[in-house]
Amino acid sequence: MYQRDQLYIDGKWTTPTGTDTLTIKNSATQEPIGVVTLGTSVDVERAVESAANAQPAWAALSPDERAGYLSAVSEQLSARMTELVDLFCQEVGIIRPQAEAFQGLAASLYSSYGERAKRFEWTQQLDNSTLAFEPIGVVGAITPWNFPLLLMSIKVAPALAAGNTVVLKPAEIAPLTGYLLAEAIDAAGLPPGVFNLVIGTGAEAGEALVTDPLVDMISFVGSTAVGKRISALASETVKRVSLELGGKSALVALEDADLEAAIRAGMDSVTTANGQGCACLTRVIVPRGQLEAAVGLAEKYLAGIKVGDPQEAGTTVGPMASEAHRKRVEGYIETGISEGARVVGGGPGLPDGIDAGNFVRPTVFVVDDSKATIAQEEIFGPVQVIIPHDGEADAIRIANDSVYGLAGAVYGADVVRAERVARALRTGKVDINGITFDPDAPFGGYRQSGNGKMYGDKGFEEFLEIKTLSKLS
């Protein structure tokens, strides 16, 4: 079992000023896997001061020099990949093949952003002005529990590559991965203060980080509610805020779509990572005349799901990350039933053959009202909602009937028409006739799904300021 009673501040492991502890449990068995001692606002202040002191020297290094350090971080993480995968399965409940893929991607981000910094045009010439790109300064990174290493790394790697220093506060539900990242960074030999880790609650450590006047930017991934709170607090010091928030993303199947492929894509989306992802396609909008065919395909998919131990071969859906989150997902399932939604399969209670752990039954609903609670609110579990549409315009209306706008998909044989529908969706990313991931393409939301971008050049530029140098010709 992990015993973590120190924080990583100013290049060394140091004892927190607080004494409160938190027990981290295996999401599948609910057995303890670690105990951490929580940091306080005083620890955050120490970490921020360390980052502020270290930032000028780190920024003064050449991109090649920073890239060398970051490449070493990738190597250190790769060397501990088995432990990182095991921990991901235990903390969050993700099945092992998916854990291996996501942890491998996370480890690669440090070297890839180092290379991106090396080829980036740090000065760009206009007619009478020079644009100089400079690091923002101290970045406070606040990350969620669903993809711990990946979402830490998509903040930390580009921030460091751009010449910023970082104070990382991971979610307290799944904090253990943060210690492994800090150990990898320490082993890679980054200068003291360049990276700092504080484990603590959002109410104390998170808010202290957001309000600290020495922090120049907050980069956050998490719920829309917390994002709103961060925006309000950060406005007191007018710091930059980058937010990747919730989603209720729609998959639109047009009349000429490959319906089987569309339903499979929607179901794959809400079962990948056990549905604990902000970009999951949690509304499948199908032609009304094909509704029963879609229902039959969803039933067939449900029959092929194996819920169980995330580390066991053949498991396709694991548990929710925590007991509190399991209760939240079950609450939405019960709400769907109480509001009259049609249950295609699943429902409340533990899956068949399982009598313990944070498991829920993968569930599919049909609703005819896009205003239904389960069609509007982010559930963050293996729950799919099928909604019939009456043509292209109606499908677009339903898809856009949301406060969110993070991801989406369109399926249709007429690719020109499918792209036209995709362009009409008010969302940051839309897949057409297949779900893809391009690490060079920016990812981020519209509306209450946040602002700012992750991945690619745009994700790198999030952590830069632009200085204009103008002179008479």
At what angle are helices 148-161 and 96-119 packed, to 10 degrees? Answer: 10
> Phi/psi zone of residue 340: left (φ > 0), alpha (ψ -120 to 50 degrees), beta?
left
Provide φ and ψ at 328, rounded to 5°: -65, -45
Question: Same structural domain for residues 196 and 307?
Answer: no
Confidence of residue 237 (pLDDT cuts 50, 70, 90): very high
**pLDDT level of residue 473 (50, 70, 90 thresholds):** low
For residue 467, the tally of other CB atoms under 10 A from its CB is 11
Instruction: Answer yes or no: is pLDDT of 148 > 80.
Output: yes
pLDDT digits (tens, 9 = 90+) for 82-97: 999 999 999 999 999 9
454: DSSP letter: B
Q: Smallest Cα–Cα separation from 12: which of 55, 38, 50?
A: 50
C-alpha–C-alpha distance, residues 273 and 92, integer Å: 9
Report the pLDDT value the prediction gives residue 367, as an integer from 0 to 100.
98
CA pair distance 349, 355, nearest whole angstrom: 10
Residue 339 lies in a domain: yes
Per-residue pLDDT reduced to its tens digit, 74-131: 999 999 999 999 999 999 999 999 999 999 999 999 999 999 999 999 999 998 899 9
Whether 180 and 312 map to the same domain: the answer is no
Amino acid type, 384: Q
Q: What is the three-class DSSP state of 190?
A: coil
Q: State both tokens at 257.
A: 């779509």
Catalytic residues: 244, 278
Say if residue 151 is in the same domain as residue 42: yes
Over residues 212-241, mean pLDDT: 96
CA distance 5 to 59: 31
Nearest Cα to Cα of residue 105 among 178, 183, 157, 159: 157
Whether the predicted pLDDT of 274 surpasses 80: yes
Which residue, among 428, 426, 399, has the nearest Cα to 411 in the 3D structure?
A: 399
Query: Is there a single domain that holds both residue 277 and residue 198?
Result: no
* 341 pLDDT higher than 80: yes
Closest CA relative to residue 138, chosen from 155, 109, 159: 159
Task: Provide mean pLDDT across the span 310-322.
Answer: 97
For residue 362, being part of any structural domain is answered with: yes
Return the CATH number at 107: 3.40.605.10
Residue 157 lies in a domain: yes
Mean pLDDT of 416-428: 98
For 63, 159, 234, 308, the CA distances from 275, given in Å and listed in that order, are: 38, 28, 30, 14
Please, are residues 354 and 315 in contact by the beta-carbon 8 Å criterion?
no
Residue among 132, 84, 147 at smallest CA distance from 443: 147
Domain membership of residue 375 (yes or no) is yes
For strands 32-37 and 2-4, give the pairing: parallel
In a domain, 443, yes or no: no
- Number of structural domains the chain divides into: 2
Q: Which CATH number does the domain housing residue 259 bear?
A: 3.40.309.10
Same domain, yes or no: 311 and 428 = yes
Q: How far is CA 136 from CA 144, 210, 327, 461, in A?
A: 23, 15, 40, 10
Count CB neighbours of 300 within 10 A.
14
Q: What is the mean pLDDT of the chain?
A: 97
Cβ–Cβ under 8 Å, residues 377 and 248: yes
Asked whether residue 28 falls in the same domain as residue 159, the answer is: yes
Query: Residue 98 domain-assigned?
Result: yes
Q: Quick check: is 232 in a domain?
A: yes
pLDDT band of residue 471 (cuts 50, 70, 90) is: confident
Looking at the fold, whether 432 and 454 belong to one and the same domain comes out as: no
Residues 189, 58 share a domain: yes
**Residue 36 lies inside a defined structural domain of this protein:** yes
User: Is residue 172 within 8 Å of residue 203, measured between CB atoms?
Assistant: no
The reply to whether 372 and 454 lie within a common domain is no
CB atoms within 10 A of CB 293: 14
Domain range enclosing 409: 249-438
Q: Do both 298 and 362 map to the same domain?
A: yes
One domain for residues 234 and 319: no
pLDDT tens by residue, 171-218: 999 999 999 999 999 999 999 999 999 999 999 999 999 999 999 999
E strand residue ranges, 171-216: 195-197
- Pairing state between β 129-135 and 32-37: unpaired
Specify whether 265 is located in the same domain as 208. Answer: no
pLDDT of 415: 97
Picking from 428, 407, 326, 332, the residue whose alpha carbon sits closest to that of residue 375 is 332
